[in-house]
A and B are shown apart, each in its own frame.
Chain A
C-alpha cells in the first residue's frame, strides 16, 4: 500500500520535473501566500493585545497547528479535488482499470511537491509559538496527537468533498468551500465566532477537534463556550467516525460513477 503510494508520488514528481521553473515558482509562491496569513495575524495584534481572550502567541499556536495539519493534507490528499475534472472528462475510467484503489491513485494524482513551502511555513509558526508560550510540558504530548487528528479530519473532509463530486459534478467550488473554507475557519480561536457556528463545527463537522479543543488543553485554558473538560480528548474518536463516514461516502460515490459517452 504505502510502497505503491510512494511510487505514485515519485512518478508524478518526475513528471512535474519536466517543468522546473513552474516548480520553483510555486514553492516560493506557496511560502509567500502562507506568510500573508501570518502577516494578517500580526497586523491584528499590532492594534490589540488579545483576540477574543487569546494572546498573539496563543493565536499563532492555534493557527500553526491547524495549518500544519491542513497543508500536509493539501499536499498528500488534496489532489483528490481533481476528481470532478476526471468525472467530467471521463478520464476517471483510466484510474478504475488499475489494480490499485481509485482513492490512492487520485490522492497521488499529479502530486507536486511545490506545496512543501507551505508545510515548512506552518511548521515554523507552530514551532515558534510552542517555544514562546512557556507551555506546561506535561501536556505537550497532545501536540502531535492534535496534528495527526487534524490530518485525519481534513483528509476525511477532502474525501467527502470528493465523494460529493460524483453527485454534483458541476460544483467543485462547493467542495472547495468545504475544504479550504474549513481551514480558514480553523485558523483563529473559535471564540471569535458565534455560538451556533461553534456548536455546528463541534457536533456536526468536527472541526473544533482539529486544533481548538485539544489546543485549549495544551494551553491550559477553559473553553469560553463552557464545554466540559473531557471534550478536549474526543478528537481522535471524532476523527475516526468522520473518516469512516468519508470512506463509505467515497465507496457509494464510485458506485454512482456514470462515465461519459464512448
Chain B
C-alpha cells in the first residue's frame, strides 16, 4: 500500500484536499457559457469519469449506467442557464446523476446483478503481465476488503470517494438515509474498511 500512496499528500484531516477537478469543471463550463464549444468538450471529459463511478455505485448494469450519464449531460445542456453558480457545476452534475440513478434503480429494480461476477472475472487478466504475484495478491486482498463492506457502505464510500464533497441533503434522500446519519455512517464505514485492511495485512 505504502508504495502506491501519493507521496506529497498532506493529511489535514479537516477538509478534502484542494481538488483541481472541480475547478477545471467550472472553468470549462464558464468557457462554454461564453460561447466556446470546446469548453463543453472539456467539461464532459473532466466529469464523465466521476459520473460513471457515482452512477455505478447504484449497481446499474453498464448500459443503464451509460444512459444515466448521457441523460445527465443532456440535462446540463438544456438547463445550463438554471445553474446559477458556475463553481457548483460539478455538484450539480453529480447530484443530477445520483437522482437519476436512484430513479432508474428503483424503477427497474436492478438488484446487484451479474456485475460482481463480471468484476471478479477481470482480476486475473489485469494482474497478469506487469504486476508481480505479490502485488496481485495485495490488490486482491484490498479488493476483498472493500467487497466485504456492507452494501450501504460500499455505495456511500464510492459516491463520497468520487464526489469528494457531496451534498448531504441530496445524498440522504438518494441513499434512503436520514441526513443526520450520513456523516456518522461514513465514519463507521471508513472505520470498517480500516479494520478490514489491517486484518488483511495491508496496513
A and B are partners in one complex rather than unrelated chains: no
Task: Using CB atoms and an 8 Å cutoff, list the residues of chain A in contact with chain B.
Answer: none
Task: Using CB atoms and an 8 Å cutoff, list the residues of chain B in contact with chain A.
Answer: none
